[in-house]
Amino acid sequence: KNEVEQSPQNLTAQEGEFITINCSYSVGISALHWLQQHPGGGIVSLFMLSSGKKKHGRLIATINIQEKHSSLHITASHPRDSAVYICAVRFNFGNEKLTFGTGTRLTIIP
Amino acid sequence: NAGVTQTPKFRILKIGQSMTLQCTQDMNHNYMYWYRQDPGMGLKLIYYSVGAGITDKGEVPNGYNVSRSTTEDFPLRLELAAPSQTSVYFCASSSRVGQSEAFFGQGTRLTVV
């Protein structure tokens, strides 16, 4: 079965801490997306990656294809980073469909 | 740069009523999708379209219908609304399968009472 698992489900940290959110998946993929959803808001795409590492500001996303695992890191976390972070993958044999994790709710305390 | 626009943002329906959730994108994307998001669950695909005139069912299509008469628009129709359709609905688009970024609308929060 094609599955996506995220950990942790909930994460609370102090402002300034280094944050890591994990995503693992069951079978081969063509792409992995990291998305951000603010409370009551829409969903914004942060990264799309199929190998290696991408960086945008304080956000870093990495993927290890052999281990079927991706991480999203936030450096120098800030209260405005508080949101739900969602991992979604396009499985190799899932044609046009994305399969989503259940999300990680991140709360950064000032 | 509007991206993906969904309307309405909020709606309350009575059981048995019908409504259409509108979705339009101005990026000339071929692929469009409708998802629903229930508490504690990942987004589930309702319907998708790979181009004008072509639609297909996703994981949870029952109780919904779609059409794609133009590249820009992908409305989602709810017939005979049921409490189980209470959810947040997201429309998304992408330029092609695989290596392209997905763009999401702001969501529609629907309550069926």
User: Which pLDDT score, from 0 to 100, does residue A95 have?
Assistant: 64
Optimal mutation site among B97, B100, B109, interface A, most CBs of chain A within 10 A: B97
Would you call A69 helix, strand, or coil by DSSP? strand
The amino acid at residue B68 is: R
CB contact under 8 A, A48 and B103: no
User: Which pLDDT score, from 0 to 100, does residue A30 have?
Assistant: 86
Edge-to-edge strands, sheet with B4-7? B4-7, B19-25, B76-78, B64-66
- CA proximity to B22, closest of B88, B110, B91, B70: B91
Place of tokens 């599955």: A3
CB contact under 8 A, B42 and A97: no
Q: In the predicted model, is pLDDT for residue B39 greater than 90?
A: no
Report the distance separating Cα B94 and Cα B48, nearest Å: 11
CB contact under 8 A, A88 and B102: yes
Do residues A103 and A11 touch, judged by C-beta distance below 8 A?
no
Q: In the predicted model, is pLDDT for residue B97 greater than 80?
A: no
Mean pLDDT over all residues of chain B? 93
Do residues B46 and B60 touch, judged by C-beta distance below 8 A?
yes
As a whole-number percent, the residues of chain A with pLDDT over 90 amount to 77
Q: Taking CB atoms and an 8 Å cutoff, what residues of chain A touch B40?
A: 102
Is the model more confident about A27 or about B100? Answer: A27
CB contact under 8 A, B104 and A35: yes
- The torsion angles phi and psi of B97, rounded to 5 degrees, stand at -75, 150
CB contact under 8 A, B42 and A42: no
User: Which pLDDT score, from 0 to 100, does residue B61 have?
Assistant: 96
Mean pLDDT over all residues of chain A? 92
Do residues A31 and A50 touch, judged by C-beta distance below 8 A?
yes
pLDDT in tens, A42-96: 899 999 999 999 999 999 999 999 999 999 999 999 999 999 999 999 887 756 6
Percentage helix, strand, coil for chain A under 3-state DSSP, each rounded to 5: 5, 60, 35
Minimum mean pLDDT among A2-6, A103-107, B26-30, B69-73: which range? A2-6
User: Which pLDDT score, from 0 to 100, does residue B40 have?
Assistant: 82
Q: Taking CB atoms and an 8 Å cutoff, what residues of chain B touch A95?
A: 97
